[in-house]
Amino acid sequence: MSDAVLPARAPSPVVVPLEARLLRFGLLLALAVLVAGLVLPLGTLLLRAFQDPEGSFVGLRNFAEYATTPSLRLAAWNSLWTAALTTLLVVPLAFGFAYALTRACIPAKGFFRAVMLLPVLAPSLLPALALIYLFGNQGMLRELLFGNSIYGPIGIIVAQVFYCFPHAALILVVALSTSDARLYEAATVLRAGHLRIFGTVTLPMARYGLVSASVVVFTLVVTDFGIPKVIGGQFPVLATDVYKQVVGLQNFNMGAVVGLVLLLPALLAFAADRWANRQRSGLLSGRAVPYVPRPRRARDLPLLALCLLVAVALVGLVAVAVWGSLVTFWPYNLNLTLQNYDFDRFDTSGWAALWNSVRIAATAAIVGTALIFGTAWLLERGAPGGALASAVRFIAGVPLAVPGLVLGLAFILFFNHPANPLGFLYGTLAILVLNGVVHFYTVMHLTAVTAIRQLDPEFESVGASLKVPAVVTFGRVTVPICLPAILDIAVYAFVNVMTTVSAVIFLYGPDTKPASVAVVHMDEAGQSSAAAAMAVTILAITASVKLAQIATTGAVNRLTQGWRAR
Amino acid sequence: MSAELAVASAAAAAVAAPPYLVVEQVSKHFGTTIALERASLTVAAGEFVCFLGPSGCGKTTLLRAIAGLDPATSGRILQDGRDITFLPPAARDFGIVFQSYALFPNLSVNENVGYGLRGRAWPTARRTHRVAELLSLVGLSEHAKKYPAQLSGGQQQRVALARALAAEPGLLLLDEPLSALDAQVRLHLRQELRALQRRLGVTTVMVTHDQEEAMGVSDRIVVMSRGHIEQIGTPETIYRHPASAFVAGFVGHASHFDAVVDASPGTLLADGITLPCLGARKMLYGTPVQAFIRPEDVALGPSATALEGHFAARVMHQEFLGPVCRVTLQVGRLQLEADVNPSVAPAIGEVLLAALPAERLMVFPRHV
């Protein structure tokens, strides 16, 4: 019947337009990078754990050997209890700090926020070096330890508290910022006291934030390499074990086994965090009214004291490192000098190491941001879904669960394999850039996705109805609107690649040693002043980049965000 | 035989005016859920058609299939004689206004309206001219340099409309374009939208869940429910002659009650009351039915006495609505709503005579 009404037409063949093919190609590119930089290396690591050094399959023999070696088991136990103790110390401290910033009336919140982020900008080695200045064999305050040694669990835990504090505090600030003033008013009207309100409203709202923070801190401590390397002394932990097996004993197979063991707590933590995040959604309705604290001395004064104490500790530890790097011979000759910054005297790569780090970090920031933001946009808006998009989406979430040391080990096993056509990358800056991008992929990806999801979902549809290619809409609308988020991603990449030790310790070549590795080497060689100087220089560079970002925010906003004004 | 007849009548209609948009047996499945099941309709050139239904009825799904944003799973869609079922949106000829307007917040009103006017066909001078023309058409010329956030909701809606119309599309699609506005602006813009559509003569399909809006602007309404088309017709047909119980209940206001077809032809029996009903004449004795009556059709007092089958009812509740007063009546277990002139509204508790005009009572078989 319809044929009588309508002019008969041959069904037109389904043509995939050029644009759709280009978008698909973009996703394939992202998948290729993630497969080469994550899936294949991790696969190689897994395989090597079941092989002997000659490459023949030995089943679980490596694991059996691991389980029966008491020193290795001890390292695992040490990692667990130091991480647990650090978590118990950091999370309440960070909660108090975050509570003060979000739920109390204290002055200088901006200053406290800035100070809170200080440890993020420094390599984890810096607090360890500063602690050695204070409490080490030649430490000024050594007597305060009553004969205990800072080299070992005490040093590790104190340094980890410093290093993990901002990570926990950031999560808790976010968790405590999402509040509904109406709930507090309801509780007050129902005559609940301050404590009861805290227990029935505040804590339940923040509980998933607390889970997240604990999980993140625990994972950071278990997987961190720099701190136990510098201040751990003879106290074995998992992270230093991997290094010992691989760099010291050249036993890659046992290294792979320890790497997999290291992956376990990280994977568990990752799963717990995903669970907590899922529970969190829906806590707050769209009509929530943000809570604005009113002054109350009984709450504000103790919290202000806590914030000041934390700020003094954070700034103080950095200041000690800076001071230590500037004195002639700690602690006997405290005359100030710049000789420790003459890095060429202490390490073969010298200042070149810093230049390497800057180049790696800048390239990772630029290339990584472009790749990650572009991919996030393709996943959210550009290309149709399907198996390819699901694969990319899944793999993008994995790096968060992979400790840097495991990733670095996986990289050497994969790229150093004689049969790998990508082997030419080994020892180049390119492999360090790829490692950096993959290592920090997930957080950058999530930032990009969050920014893109805030855009109206119909932008691309409108563009299509107006016959404007999606790529043009991406360039004219998506990127300008998301520019602040894009800058955040780039700075995050730069800072983290600049300060990481664990992922790159296996990967550098003779000409590509990064500054953070140079710090480890100078410390190993006993030149702790030079090591501190290098760590301070890294901090100076990351801090200037961060400050530059803050300074340019105003200009960037004027250029691209003028439309936000009403 | 009947098929031949259908072909003949359809062919005659096609000769008279070939439909601009033809939707044939279009279905859309998301996994195992069926969002749209074998929807068929035609839209004539220059016509204003509304898809009306509660949320989740498939009206937006159908609109997005026509736009190519979520292509249909099966069926055919033809626009101006061209099969567009599987064409990407960019290869089709339509403009669209979304519920959120999706205005680009970082581009000025000028840039938003001129967004699709690019390429060789639109040199700068021509584009500037066209944008100015459109902005004067929607009355926003003095706001050309502002950003969307600096405009009111109604103004944003008009920018979105101007942007959709910029390249003179053959088909205008509107996805709940007025629902984000407050009531007064909505009424005003609805009339403006209709006037503009008449002036430009652009074929328009609008999705809405607001029946008053659909009645106010459409040439024809497509009532949808749970992925099916329930009825297609002019606003009056849909209001006076609903094709199903769903349409009778969804469009306009109506009291409804269960009844059974009585022995004498054209009467219903509801809770012991016998009601004359033209619609029941062709129904079998004993058929369970659902009956609907609009409040303005219920006769009260003296006008009820003149009608067959009047009954006494008690006033339970009254609601002042401005032009009318809506009273709730109780007759045994039946509850009816009736509109009366507020100046003669009965008091609560009063017992008065009521009647349901036989030609106004709408009945549909009830499946038990």
Q: Model confidence over A357-381: pLDDT tens digits?
A: 999 999 999 999 999 999 999 988 8
pLDDT at residue B5, as a whole number: 44
Q: Which residues of A touch B (CB under 8 A)?
A: 1-2, 4-7, 9, 11-12, 14, 17, 19-20, 456-459, 461-469, 472, 476-477, 480-481, 560-566
Q: Phi/psi at B291 (nearest 5 deg)?
A: -110, 140
pLDDT at residue B284, as a whole number: 87
Mean pLDDT value across residues A85-103: 93
Q: Model confidence over A248-265: pLDDT tens digits?
A: 888 888 888 888 888 887
Which DSSP state fits A237?
-
pLDDT at residue B259, as a whole number: 92
Strands B299-300 and B351-355: antiparallel
Pick B100's closest partner by Cβ from A2, A458, A476. A458
pLDDT at residue A385, as a whole number: 65
Q: Model confidence over A111-130: pLDDT tens digits?
A: 898 888 888 898 888 888 88
More confident residue, A270 or A500: A500
Confidence of residue A4 (pLDDT cuts 50, 70, 90): very low
Q: Model confidence over A59-90: pLDDT tens digits?
A: 788 888 888 888 888 888 999 999 999 999 99
pLDDT at residue A181, as a whole number: 77
Q: Taking CA atoms, what residue in A is nearest to B170?
A: A465
Q: Taking CA atoms, what residue in B is nearest to A458?
A: B102
Q: Which two tokens stand for residue B241?
A: 């002659």
Mean pLDDT value across residues A128-153: 81
Contact status, residue A240 vs residue A71, Cβ threshold 8 Å: no
pTM, to two decimals: 0.81
How do the residues of chain B divide into helix, strand and coil, expressed in percent and rounded to 5?
30, 30, 35
Task: Return d(Cα B58, Cα B35) in angstroms, integer.
Answer: 5
Contact status, residue A52 vs residue A256, Cβ threshold 8 Å: no
The residue among B104, B112, B202 with the most chain A CBs within 10 A of its CB, best to mutate, is B104
Mean pLDDT value across residues A79-102: 93
Task: Return d(Cα A98, Cα A177) in angstroms, integer.
Answer: 9
Please list every residue in chain B whose beta carbon sits closer than 8 Å to the beta carbon of residue A2: 24, 76
Instruction: Check A566 against B149: CB less than 8 A apart.
Output: yes
Pick B118's closest partner by Cβ from A4, A12, A468. A468
pLDDT at residue A492, as a whole number: 93
The residue among A2, A5, A24 with the most chain B CBs within 10 A of its CB, best to mutate, is A5
Which DSSP state fits A50?
T
Instruction: Check A563 against B148: CB less than 8 A apart.
Output: yes
pLDDT at residue B4, as a whole number: 47
Confidence of residue A12 (pLDDT cuts 50, 70, 90): very low
Please list every residue in chain B whose beta carbon sits closer than 8 Å to the beta carbon of residue A4: 7, 10-11, 14
**Cβ partners under 8 Å of residue B159, min gap 6:** B101, B103, B109, B112, B113, B138, B140, B148, B151
Please list every residue in chain A whose beta carbon sits closer than 8 Å to the beta carbon of residue B95: 465-466
Please list every residue in chain A whose beta carbon sits closer than 8 Å to the beta carbon of residue B90: 17, 19, 464-465, 467-469
Task: Return d(Cα A399, Cα A54) in angstroms, integer.
Answer: 29
Pick A6's closest partner by Cβ from B22, B90, B116. B22
Distance from the A449 Cα atom to the nearest Cα atom in chain B, whole angstroms: 19
pLDDT at residue A281, as a whole number: 55
Question: C-alpha distances in angstroms, A275 versus A207, A268, A498, A536, B45?
Answer: 12, 11, 31, 38, 54
More confident residue, A34 or B2: A34
More confident residue, A190 or B225: B225
Mean pLDDT value across residues A187-197: 83
Q: Taking CA atoms, what residue in B is nearest to A15?
A: B87
Spans of chain B below 50 pLDDT: 1-15
Confidence of residue A10 (pLDDT cuts 50, 70, 90): very low
Task: State the alpha helices, DSSP H only, in B96-210.
Answer: 109-113, 124-137, 153-165, 183-200
Contact status, residue A251 vs residue A53, Cβ threshold 8 Å: yes
Please list every residue in chain B whose beta carbon sits closer than 8 Å to the beta carbon of residue A474: none
Please list every residue in chain A whose beta carbon sits closer than 8 Å to the beta carbon of residue B78: 6
pLDDT at residue A117, as a whole number: 86
The Cα angle at residue B32 between residues B29 and B35, in degrees rounded to 5: 35
Q: Model confidence over B137-196: pLDDT tens digits?
A: 888 999 999 998 889 888 999 999 999 999 889 999 999 988 878 888 888 899 999 999
The CATH fold of domain A69-333: MetI-like fold (1.10.3720)
Task: Return d(Cα B89, Cα A466) in angstroms, integer.
Answer: 9
pLDDT at residue A505, as a whole number: 86
Instruction: Check B69 against A12: CB less than 8 A apart.
Output: no
Instruction: Check A477 against B107: CB less than 8 A apart.
Output: yes
The interface predicted TM-score (ipTM) is 0.73
- pLDDT above 70 for A548: yes
